[in-house]
Amino acid sequence: AQKITQTQPGMFVQEKEAVTLDCTYDTSDPSYGLFWYKQPSSGEMIFLIYQGSYDQQNATEGRYSLNFQKARKSANLVISASQLGDSAMYFCAMREASLGGSQGNLIFGKGTKLSVKP
């Protein structure tokens, strides 16, 4: 079974509007972290935002926020006021903290390609 599921292979959003990228995860580890990375067409992986399983509040970083619903095992990324430069692949990832030596491993979803229309 997939541990990270991103159900939207591709999405379009109008410039200046908000967009939500979906991510659900599956783990029995009580301690885990959830990450979002952006991959523009140039190929590099850019860290956007992190949410810990014990964090009480949703994470925010500038125009990025993470809608964390622990009971639903959901960690959706919200981008407010979309810009043309937001066009990229977006990956959701999880790190399970309690798995001994493998606790550093990131498990990635398959990604969502976001296209921002002018």
Partner 1 sequence: NAGVTQTPKFQVLKTGQSMTLQCAQDMNHEYMSWYRQDPGMGLRLIHYSVGAGITDQGEVPNGYNVSRSTTEDFPLRLLSAAPSQTSVYFCASSSIEGQGNTEAFFGQGTRLTVV
Q: Which residues bind partner 1 (CB under 8 A)?
A: 4, 9, 31-33, 35, 37, 43-45, 47, 50, 52, 54, 91, 93, 95-97, 101-111
Our CB check for partner 1 shows the closer of 14 and 62 to be: 62
Minimum CB distance to partner 1, residue 31 (Å): 6
- Per-residue tokens: 3: 């541990």
Helices (H), 25-84: none
Q: Please list the residues that pair with 91 across neighbouring strands.
A: 37
Which residue, 86 or 96, has its beta carbon nearer to partner 1? 96
Our CB check for partner 1 shows the closer of 7 and 105 to be 105
Residues 12 and 115 sit within 8 Å (Cβ to Cβ) = yes
**In whole angstroms, what is the distance from residue 92 CA to residue 70 CA?**
15
Dist CA 27 CA 116 (whole Å): 32
Minimal distance in Å, beta carbon 97 to partner 1? 3
